[in-house]
């Protein structure tokens, strides 16, 4: 499905910070940034990705932080307080 169709169906741009243990040095942590269109608040695409990670990759997950933002929104107008003079 195209990105526009996903956005019209309430999908949002989702950015995830994944911190995981390095497989060769478990005491060291590494960061991975993942970004995809997903449906908040259930995040089915992210859930499938994390299930894939846990079943197929060696790096054990340490933490996952999620940020999500709708790209299509109702326009908001705000008026500036003050008078601006041009010379």
- Tokens 């956005």 map to which residue? 7
Q: Is residue 58 part of a domain?
A: yes
Q: Is residue 27 part of a domain?
A: yes
Q: How confident is the model at residue 6 (pLDDT cuts 50, 70, 90)?
A: confident
Is-contact 44 38, C-beta < 8 A? yes
Q: How confident is the model at residue 80 (pLDDT cuts 50, 70, 90)?
A: low
Q: Is residue 75 part of a domain?
A: no
Residue 87 has pLDDT above 60, yes or no: no
Q: Is residue 61 part of a domain?
A: yes
Q: Is residue 82 part of a domain?
A: no
Instruction: Identify which has the larger pLDDT, 73 or 43.
Output: 43
Q: Is residue 87 part of a domain?
A: no
Q: How confident is the model at residue 78 (pLDDT cuts 50, 70, 90)?
A: low
Could you list the residue range(s) of the whole structural domain that residue 64 is in?
A: 3-69
Q: Is residue 51 part of a domain?
A: yes
Look at residue 36 in the predicted model and tell me its pLDDT. 93
Look at residue 62 in the predicted model and tell me its pLDDT. 94
Q: Is residue 81 part of a domain?
A: no
Q: How many CB atoms lie within 10 A of CB 37?
A: 18
The answer to pTM > 0.95 is: no
Q: Which residues, 6+ apart, have CB-to-CB distance to 41 below 8 Å?
A: none
Q: How many domains does the chain have?
A: 1
């Amino acid at each position: 499905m195209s990105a526009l169709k996903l956005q019209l169906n309430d999908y949002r741009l989702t950015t995830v910070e994944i911190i995981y243990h390095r497989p060769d040095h478990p005491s060291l942590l590494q960061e991975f940034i993942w970004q995809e269109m997903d449906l908040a608040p259930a995040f089915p695409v992210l859930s499938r990705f994390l299930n894939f990670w846990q079943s197929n990759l060696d790096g054990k997950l340490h933490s996952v932080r999620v940020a999500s933002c709708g790209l299509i929104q109702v326009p908001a107008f705000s008026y500036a307080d003050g008078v601006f003079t041009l010379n």
